[in-house]
Structure 1
Amino acid sequence: METLVLKLHEIEAVKFGNFKLKSGIFSPIYLDLRVIVSYPDVLRQVSEAMWKAVEGNAKFDVTCGVPYTALPIATAMALDHGLKMLMRRKEVKEYGTKKAIEGHFEPGQTCLMVDDLVTSGMSVLETLDALNAVKLVCTDVVVLIDREQGGKENLKSHGLNLYSALTISEILSILSKHGKLTDEVVKSVHDFIAANKVVKPKVETQAAPKRLSYEEKAALAKNEALKRLYNTMVAKKSNLSVAMDVNSTEKMLALVDEIGPHICCLKTHVDVLDVWNDGVAKSLTDLAEKHNFLIFEDRKFADIGNTVVSQYSGGVYKISEWSDIVNAHIVPGPGIVDGLKQVGLGQNKGLLLLAEMSSAGTMAKGSYTEETVRVADENPDFVIGFISVNPNSWTKKSKDRSLVHMTPGIKLQKGGDGLGQQYNDPKSAIARGSDVLIVGRGVYKAEDPKSSAAEYQKAGWEAYLSEL
């Protein structure tokens, strides 16, 4: 440890003088551990010292470096000791997986947090929140240097044990012993540390709201179609919606009869069918009654209120007569909801708004999604929820916890189709806040659609139960 401390002083990772800190106060000591990445031998000494501090004291499945200075330290430790490592992103990307925690792990695993030093412990607590959000369990933190300004006590109040390879007092003692510091400098640092403690009383924060069960959501629902949807899901133990995007009406009706027992909702695109008339509509609603599922016509209305009134109620398809649910973009503004409500509300229909889409390059994100939430909150009697991909990242902005989140692009394996469609598996979609999983080609193009539907039903329901 003496060799390490002397080396840290030599490469100016530990400096003495008069340094202005981020807080605006001046300090006689400054720790700049970022420089160790330029000294591989020091980096290895640091990671080994930290490993010895925690080895045998903490049990864990994975480690996670606190960004950014500790990432190379955590990497060195992982390489030398065969540890599984995760990495936290400070800035979560708006594209790709949108993950805050990178790496492979399982919910419920224990994670050791690795940081370079601790003052108040705030950077550790930020990482703790991100790890807890993905259901990792954290009880231990290891650092190179404890500044002895209250971080250990602060972390303890949050249930975290701090292990440090060094303390400021130990560093001062070693450097003084080797003639690197005068007694005056040592005293000035001790005085500074004593005068700048950052022990903070633990603030009792309100726990994040638990995920509501479908029964609880049904009880809160203000729309009859939404209540029926949740009650159907509970009765059938299914959160599966199949998108029946086939061209043949005859084939569509035959497939729906096969998969009907396994779905809570059928998603249609009637304008791609080769035949449509009142008799086909009657056959479809008869199947819905026979197998107890709702019909969602994926019309994606996107016109002014006066136009959508006619599109919804009239024309060739007379959508409002046979569908329970339709959806719309809010690009035209809130008037589109007023127009659709004029037709559907009195018939106990429901409207989904497109908050996000599963296609690559979608513009349904950010401020568009926020405006969609606002429009939904203003129409709780008719808007029943959203088409969404990652609802947990923005649902806290909604006042209504009964709203349903339907997620398209679900497959048992992640991937894409080469045409911009991005797939998510049932477990990850449910973990992101989805309520209803929309599966298309994974069912209707399967060799055995009925067995495939049963497989998706089971996977989706198990994923939902695991999140409660």
Structure 2
Amino acid sequence: MCSAGPLSAAHRALVLQLADVEAIKFGSFTLKSGIQSPLYIDLRVTVSYPQLLSLIASTLLASLPQSVTYEALCGVPYTALPFATAMSLDTKVPMLMRRKEVKAYGTKKSIEGAIKPGGVVLVVEDLVTSGGSVMETVQPLRDAGCVVTDVAVLLDRQQGAVERLASDGVAVHAALGVCQVLDVLVEEARVDPAVAADVRAFLAANQAAPVTKTYTARAAGVKNSVGARLLRLMDTKRTNLSVAADVTTAAELLRLAAAVGPHIAVLKTHADTVSDWTDDTATALRLLADEHDFLLFEDRKFADIGNTVVAQAGGGLHKIVNWADIINAHAVPGPGILSGLRVAVESAGRSVGVLVLAQMSSAGNLATALPGYTPAAVAMAVTEPDLVFGFIAMEGGLGGEACVSMTPGVKMGGGGDALGQQYATPDRVVGTAGSDVIIVGRGIYKADDPAAAAKEYREAGWAAYERRCRGDQL
């Protein structure tokens, strides 16, 4: 919260010098998350002012309790590196450096310097909001055998980082809080009180999100075995990508599955678009799924009465429940459709999970347009948790943490097509909307190199998931 205590004369002088070099700005600024902020703090500019850097170093050192001891310093790249360097020169304490980009050649180390296993390292950071960037340095240090329990921070935005980092065993020692900065600047007539009030209101309304559970942690609460397996698989394989294999021949389907298999958690099929589908196609798909450890999702979108879907799911040309791990259904027919799918699944004698279509990505779809549709679909689904493990939806959180959300219409850059498809980026789907699985079609299967495209989407989706787990969305 935006609480503030009095500052010493030295701290007040530091605040004014930061304002003088425009490290603190007021106006309207777009943050990395897309949020509009009335405050922007850019401490990178301090590298051009040696006396200010020296003052920052001494202030950071003075802000540490006497009980904090350390054998090395490590600045969070990049802005805090000069701070840590100045502190190292002042105290003669050795310094370590974390690589932000680990090289694929040479030593391939993420931490550079004379690492002492079991040595206590003080992390140095310029600014904390949620604490996510601090943990990106703390964890590699801990992985290298170092002990990290404290971080020296120049400025705390007071949006929840202290509490978040405490949960990871890291104590924050901040030289300045943003509310203290506001107090000084208002008292010195550098900022209008109304502007300061807007900033305080923004900080209160934009506290860092709490740490969310990992996929694996959520799996324990999922009653459907396929849903639980999917959550564990995603963490183990480090991918939340589903590729929509919207191709028209068995050869294309199997070729695509083999190419993207190492990068995906789920392959989504439309068996009825494959002109030469046979039982051998299903057998070959299952072999590839087992080889590369992914689930098969037949996107049949069942939408009939229970008696009809029994035959559609278990019989006909495709015999879907005999090979698919996941199937899905519209909620329009009512709960009878789930009863029919349960009969088909039990007759097959193998584990299958069901997703209910709660929302869609096409422009003007009635699932989104009709206010009562999504709540009704969710209410219907959660009554059968041993069969239904989640939703096709444009957001996460539907049905609670035991339900998985899979979102179609994902594409780098967003946009749409001429037939009403509306695209969203992986970061928006997983990071902002809180969905669990990104479903990508044309961005991968129409790429010149589907495997390379799948790898790119896999990395983007996973990075968004890791940021969400840290609550690092501001």
Class of the TM-score when normalised by the shorter of the 2 chains: 0.5 to 0.7
Give the match for residue 105 of structure 1: 31
Give the match for residue 447 of structure 1: 448
Shift of 1:390: 2.6
- Select 2:376's aligned residue among 358, 371, 389: 371
Shift of 1:62: 7.2
SS of equivalent residue, structure 1 residue 328: strand
1:314-463 alignment, distance < 5 Å: 314-344=315-345, 347-365=350-368, 366-391=371-396, 395=397, 398=399, 400-431=400-431, 432-463=433-464
1:132-147 alignment, distance < 5 Å: none
Shift of 1:372: 1.3
SS of equivalent residue, structure 2 residue 447: coil
Q: Is the 8 A contact 1:61 1:109 kept in 2?
A: no
**Residue type of the alignment partner of 1:407:** T
1:273-352 alignment, distance < 5 Å: 273-344=274-345, 347-352=350-355
SS of equivalent residue, structure 1 residue 380: coil
Shift of 1:436: 0.7
CA distance in structure 1 between the partners assigned to 2:35 and 2:410 by the alignment: 26
**Residue type of the alignment partner of 2:287:** D
SS of equivalent residue, structure 1 residue 297: strand
Correspondence 1:264 to 2:265 = yes
Shift of 1:442: 0.7
CA distance in structure 1 between the partners assigned to 2:420 and 2:25 by the alignment: 34
CA distance in structure 2 between the partners assigned to 1:427 and 1:62 by the alignment: 27
Shift of 1:362: 1.3
SS of equivalent residue, structure 2 residue 361: coil
Shift of 1:403: 1.1
CA shift in 2, pair 1:272/1:210, >3 Å:
same
CA distance in structure 2 between the partners assigned to 1:207 and 1:451 by the alignment: 34
CA shift in 2, pair 1:60/1:374, >3 Å:
farther
Output one character per residue of 1:359-405: Cα deviation in whole Å (capped at 9) or x when no partner.
111111331111111112211111110111133xxx3x63x412111
CA shift in 2, pair 1:113/1:61, >3 Å:
closer
**Residue type of the alignment partner of 1:378:** T
CA shift in 2, pair 1:314/1:109, >3 Å:
closer
SS of equivalent residue, structure 1 residue 375: helix
Q: Is the 8 A contact 1:112 1:139 kept in 2?
A: no
CA shift in 2, pair 1:57/1:422, >3 Å:
same
CA distance in structure 2 between the partners assigned to 1:412 and 1:353 by the alignment: 26
Gaps of 5+ in 2: 1-17, 41-128, 134-155, 160-176, 188-206, 470-474
CA distance in structure 2 between the partners assigned to 1:335 and 1:110 by the alignment: 46
Q: Cα RMSD between the aligned structures?
A: 3.4
Gaps of 5+ in 1: 1-54, 64-77, 79-84, 87-103, 115-130, 141-157, 167-205
CA distance in structure 2 between the partners assigned to 1:325 and 1:248 by the alignment: 21
Shift of 1:265: 0.4
Give the match for residue 465 of structure 2: 464
**Residue type of the alignment partner of 1:283:** A
1:153-302 alignment, distance < 5 Å: 210-302=211-303
Q: Is the 8 A contact 2:241 2:458 kept in 1?
A: yes
Q: Is the 8 A contact 1:313 1:319 kept in 2?
A: yes
Shift of 1:328: 0.6
Output one character per residue of 1:3-61: Cα deviation in whole Å (capped at 9) or x when no partner.
xxxxxxxxxxxxxxxxxxxxxxxxxxxxxxxxxxxxxxxxxxxxxxxxxxxx9499887
CA shift in 2, pair 1:212/1:455, >3 Å:
same
**Residue type of the alignment partner of 1:337:** L
Shift of 1:452: 0.8
CA shift in 2, pair 1:110/1:326, >3 Å:
closer
Could you state the TM-score of these two structures normalised by the residue count of structure 1? 0.58
Q: Is the 8 A contact 2:311 2:344 kept in 1?
A: no
Q: Is the 8 A contact 1:60 1:112 kept in 2?
A: no
SS of equivalent residue, structure 2 residue 367: coil
CA shift in 2, pair 1:315/1:207, >3 Å:
same
**Residue type of the alignment partner of 2:228:** K
**Residue type of the alignment partner of 2:430:** I
CA shift in 2, pair 1:309/1:139, >3 Å:
same
SS of equivalent residue, structure 2 residue 328: strand
**Residue type of the alignment partner of 2:365:** T
SS of equivalent residue, structure 2 residue 413: coil
Could you state the TM-score of these two structures normalised by the residue count of structure 2? 0.57
CA distance in structure 1 between the partners assigned to 2:334 and 2:354 by the alignment: 15
Identity %: 45
Q: Is the 8 A contact 2:249 2:277 kept in 1?
A: no
Q: Is the 8 A contact 2:395 2:405 kept in 1?
A: no
CA shift in 2, pair 1:307/1:401, >3 Å:
same
Q: Is the 8 A contact 2:256 2:445 kept in 1?
A: yes
Alignment length, in residue pairs? Answer: 300
Give the match for residue 6 of structure 2: none
SS of equivalent residue, structure 2 residue 366: coil
